């Protein structure tokens, strides 16, 4: 605001907050609100209510092979590993991921990972579309 003036500085600040706010929401939405994510309810068996299994079933990853997305998201493209190990620095989540995937495979826990950010966004929008269509059968 100092260099642009009060009015133009205010407009730039509002635009910045809107763009960053939408990016922030979209980043978290593709990790928690996609088609295959489990929404725990009373239908889940007691065995499937294990804390670690729920962390995996209620999250998804995207672009795990992309250093760009790991940098841009602060490692949140490894959301499953982040939920399981919240105190671990995000730089180590890529190394932990194959171990988590193998463990999920051994115990029959679905591990959801999208190859790109675009496919995760597509799954998010498909999920929103299904929520708006009760006939699709996947409502909360």
pLDDT, greater one: 42 or 105:
105
Using one digit for the tens of pLDDT, what is the confidence trace for 19-76?
A: 999 988 988 899 999 988 887 776 666 666 788 988 999 999 999 999 999 998 889 9
∠ Cα 16 18 19 (to 5°): 65
User: For the residues 134-139, what does the mean pLDDT come to?
Assistant: 63
pTM: 0.81
Which residue spans within the chain are E strands per DSSP?
61-62, 113-114
Residue-wise burial string across 16-52, b where 16 or more C-beta atoms lie within 10 A, e elsewhere? eeeeeeeeeeebebbbebbbebbeeeeeeeeeeeeee
pLDDT band at 2 (very low <50, low <70, confident <90, very high): confident
Average pLDDT, the chain: 88
């Amino acid at each position: 605001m100092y260099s642009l003036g009060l009015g133009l500085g205010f407009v730039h600040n509002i635009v910045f907050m809107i763009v960053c706010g939408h990016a922030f929401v979209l980043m978290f939405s593709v990790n928690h609100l996609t088609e295959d994510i489990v929404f725990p309810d009373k239908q889940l068996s007691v065995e499937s209510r294990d804390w670690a299994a729920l962390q995996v079933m209620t999250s998804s990853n995207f672009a795990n092979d992309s250093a760009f997305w790991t940098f841009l998201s602060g490692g949140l493209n490894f959301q499953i590993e982040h939920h399981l190990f919240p105190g671990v620095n995000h730089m180590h989540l890529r190394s932990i991921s194959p171990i988590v995937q193998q463990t999920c495979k051994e115990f029959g826990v679905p591990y959801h990972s999208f190859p790109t950010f675009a496919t995760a966004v597509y799954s998010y929008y498909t999920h929103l579309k299904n929520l708006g269509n009760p006939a699709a059968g996947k409502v909360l």
